Amino acid sequence: MHALVPLPVAVPLAVAAVLGAVGRFLPRQVVDAAAILAAAAVTGVSATLVVGTADRPLHVFFGGWRPHGGLVPGIAFDVDPLSAALATLAGALTVAALVFAWHYFEEALPLFHILVLLFLAGMVGFALSDDLFNLFVFFQLMGIPAFALTGYRVDEPGPLQGALAFGILNTIAGSLLVLAISLVYGRTGALNLVDAGAALAGRPPDLLVTAAFGLVVSAFLVKAGVVPFHFWLADAYSAAPAPVCVLLSGVMSDLGIHAIARVHSSAFAGTFAHREAEVRAILVALGVAGALITAVMSFLQADLKRMLAFLTASHAGIFLAAVALFSPAALAGEVVWVVGDGLAKGSLFLCVGFLLHELQDGDELRLHGRGRRLPVAAAIFVVGAAAVSLLPPFGPFLGFALVGDAAGALGLGWVPALLALAAAVSGAAVLRAAGRVFLGLGDRDDPLLSQQPQHAEREEPEDDVRRPRVALAAAGALLALALGLALVPGLPRHAVAAAAQAQDRHALVEAVLHGVPEPPASAPPQHVGVAAYAEGLATTAAALLLALVGLYRRRLPRLVRVVAGRVAGPPLAALRAAHSGVLGDYVAWLAFGSGLVLGLFAALVR
């Protein structure tokens, strides 16, 4: 089993290099098949690792440099069921994206396939790595192919600007990470997370420790796209080609949140032991506020991709708040929610890609009623939107139920309620779009929604009749997986057991530094109560209701509309103006955000 761990990173890299060397001479089908096989292999191996590490995580040391007298010189991977599940999600979404993109790109060198495989290797490595600098290197390997892919359609202004914002903002985030590494290495002389954690745990946190954690959190919040670091995400995800959006939105953003959870539980939980309540308060507040703000922005969009981009940012805020509860059930719930949500978002983006191909437009208002003769796409789009709005028994709902239990145990019942509200508002936007596009409901124009300039958004240069069935098949398969995820027997129990093991610092230090294998993971059986089902159904119903309000806003009584206009008008206008599309503003917001995060940690956690 140890020998399997490097393969999900090494195989896509090797295939990408081979395609770089001989790709131009191979027929198109061979290149597509090679890329899809490599992604499928990654998915298979990662799934095997999920099952293989159910009892205890695997600690693999590269280059054969094993821990030596309390020091971990080599680079370590820590493979536990949760991180392996995220690697599996990355693999599955890459297979779906490559299947959708079959015959998509017709250049000499198969650049698209090379960049997607490098992107996959970066995501898998970022999910599994247990070394701070190695996380930075995989952070960059994930970022660079992604922003090159975002700017793939060079003949349109949107992708170019989205790629520039993506590249510059993520590179600055990388620099924040290097500053954090300098501080941690200067203090502890260690780069391995568990090694550094053991060294830091001895003393209460001083300003160096809070600054280092603040920098790491800020860097990963930029990648995850949580307010106020999310501006680049809206421009980049709404400009990237649909298959790329599946990967960006489906898993890349959420990996940033999981990295925060891993860095906290491995390196900083020890020294923050007496300050856990304050750290939780800061991160939960950031997550909830961010989730609600971007959910409202999602509701204000007419461009389908931009709407889903804000939905991704909103859910990143939700996952941050869930992870910040720092309990095993919350971490397990967050990962289950992320996997289910990633599959549902992936299917939604594939549907939008399909619409762009079939109807040559991605704007909800301009597509009014034009989707009537696309029943299969309509079904997938609506079910995907419902799944994202926590409809039982899909994956997201199951994750939400676990997070609800964790929050209830901590006496923070209001947190899941606000998270459900954010899911409802962002889900409502997608349901509204579905109603308008596929059923022709609601008005043909709505000044409330901001539209993007109609550039020639043709996703596919030449017609390919086989394409639509392939796209819908991939989208349907992802949705089926999101449903199937929830029907896996004993999934919640295994997830909570794995989460408990990941947060057991003492056992982790013994295992990594001294090679003492952890005790097998165990957890009480998890029971999803009737109350949880009620909350899930209520959230979906709220989403449906909000969607109807969105469609038939003008038919509300005049008094309600006037009051709503006066109350909500100015803040919405300010919120919309803040998303100016200007690079300088985004960098200023990043500086302000990181200053805020470091300031909060310095003030409270001491």
**Interface of this chain with other proteins, residues 298 to 337, rule: CB under 8 A:** 300-301, 306
Of 395-414, binders to other proteins (CB under 8 A) are none
Piece of 340-348, 386-394, 544-552, 583-591 that binds other proteins (CB under 8 A)? 583-591
What is the CA angle 508-119-268, rounded to 5? 25
Is position 115 an interface residue for other proteins (rule: CB under 8 A)?
Answer: yes
141 or 355, CB closer to other proteins?
A: 141
Minimum distance between the CB of residue 397 and other proteins, rounded to whole angstroms? 31
Of 206-225, binders to other proteins (CB under 8 A) are 206-208, 210-212, 214
Structure tokens at 408: 């209830």
Whole-angstrom CA distances from 340 to 394, 577, 598, 603 are 7, 33, 32, 36
Is position 74 an interface residue for other proteins (rule: CB under 8 A)?
Answer: yes
Minimum distance between the CB of residue 74 and other proteins, rounded to whole angstroms? 7
450 or 522, CB closer to other proteins?
A: 450
Place of tokens 């089902």: 533
Piece of 129-137, 241-249, 320-328, 385-393 that binds other proteins (CB under 8 A)? 129-137
Minimum distance between the CB of residue 212 and other proteins, rounded to whole angstroms? 7
Q: Which of 38, 96, 173, 191 binds other proteins (CB under 8 A)?
A: 191
Contacts with 175 (C-beta within 8 Å, 6 or more apart), sequence order: none
Is position 114 an interface residue for other proteins (rule: CB under 8 A)?
Answer: yes
Is position 14 an interface residue for other proteins (rule: CB under 8 A)?
Answer: yes
Piece of 79-87, 149-157, 275-283, 394-402 that binds other proteins (CB under 8 A)? 149-157
Whole-angstrom CA distances from 510 to 201, 514, 603 are 14, 5, 33
Of 160-179, binders to other proteins (CB under 8 A) are 160-164, 167-168, 171-172, 174-175, 178-179
DSSP state of 581: -
Minimum distance between the CB of residue 577 and other proteins, rounded to whole angstroms? 7
DSSP state of 6: T
Q: Which of 43, 238, 265, 526 binds other proteins (CB under 8 A)?
A: 238
Is position 571 an interface residue for other proteins (rule: CB under 8 A)?
Answer: no
Is position 20 an interface residue for other proteins (rule: CB under 8 A)?
Answer: yes
Piece of 78-86, 186-194, 311-319, 399-407 that binds other proteins (CB under 8 A)? 186-194
Is position 30 an interface residue for other proteins (rule: CB under 8 A)?
Answer: no
Q: Which of 29, 51, 106, 182 binds other proteins (CB under 8 A)?
A: 182
Q: What is the Cα–Cα distance from 112 to 71, expressed in whole angstroms?
A: 41
Q: What is the Cα–Cα distance from 296 to 588, expressed in whole angstroms?
A: 22
Q: What is the Cα–Cα distance from 90 to 254, expressed in whole angstroms?
A: 11
Of 537-556, binders to other proteins (CB under 8 A) are none
Is position 75 an interface residue for other proteins (rule: CB under 8 A)?
Answer: yes
121 or 491, CB closer to other proteins?
A: 121
Is position 588 an interface residue for other proteins (rule: CB under 8 A)?
Answer: yes
Of 445-504, binders to other proteins (CB under 8 A) are 450, 452-453
Is position 577 an interface residue for other proteins (rule: CB under 8 A)?
Answer: yes
Q: What is the dihedral of CA 219, 209, 270, 507, to 10 degrees?
A: 60
Give the bridge partners for 61, in sequence order: 76
In angstroms, how far is CA 232 from the centroid of its own chain? 15
Q: Which of 18, 33, 37, 538 binds other proteins (CB under 8 A)?
A: 18
26 or 537, CB closer to other proteins?
A: 26
In angstroms, how far is CA 545 from the centroid of its own chain? 27
Place of tokens 């392996």: 84
Is position 362 an interface residue for other proteins (rule: CB under 8 A)?
Answer: no
Structure tokens at 289: 């506020």
Is position 595 an interface residue for other proteins (rule: CB under 8 A)?
Answer: yes
Exposed/middle/buried for residue 562 (C-beta within 10 Å: 0-12, 13-18, 19+):
exposed
Q: What is the dihedral of CA 41, 43, 46, 48, to 10 degrees?
A: -80
DSSP string, 360-376: S--BTTTTTTTTTT-HH
301 or 347, CB closer to other proteins?
A: 301
Q: Which of 39, 50, 60, 259 binds other proteins (CB under 8 A)?
A: 60
118 or 415, CB closer to other proteins?
A: 118
Q: What is the Cα–Cα distance from 494 to 500, expressed in whole angstroms?
A: 10
Q: What is the Cα–Cα distance from 570 to 123, expressed in whole angstroms?
A: 40
Q: What is the Cα–Cα distance from 323 to 355, expressed in whole angstroms?
A: 35
Piece of 235-243, 245-253, 469-477, 481-489 that binds other proteins (CB under 8 A)? 235-243
Look up residue 596 and give its amino acid. L
Is position 21 an interface residue for other proteins (rule: CB under 8 A)?
Answer: yes
Is position 183 an interface residue for other proteins (rule: CB under 8 A)?
Answer: yes
Minimum distance between the CB of residue 372 and other proteins, rounded to whole angstroms? 28
Residue count at the site for other proteins (CB under 8 A)?
114
Exposed/middle/buried for residue 573 (C-beta within 10 Å: 0-12, 13-18, 19+):
exposed
239 or 421, CB closer to other proteins?
A: 239
150 or 327, CB closer to other proteins?
A: 150
Q: What is the Cα–Cα distance from 485 to 482, expressed in whole angstroms?
A: 5
Place of tokens 């999600």: 89
Q: What is the Cα–Cα distance from 367 to 340, expressed in whole angstroms?
A: 28
Q: Which stretch of DSSP H or E encloses residue 78?
A: strand 76-79
Minimum distance between the CB of residue 584 and other proteins, rounded to whole angstroms? 5
Minimum distance between the CB of residue 337 and other proteins, rounded to whole angstroms? 29
Sign of dihedral through CA atoms 389, 395, 396, 399?
positive
69 or 525, CB closer to other proteins?
A: 69
145 or 241, CB closer to other proteins?
A: 145
Is position 144 an interface residue for other proteins (rule: CB under 8 A)?
Answer: yes
SS3 303: strand
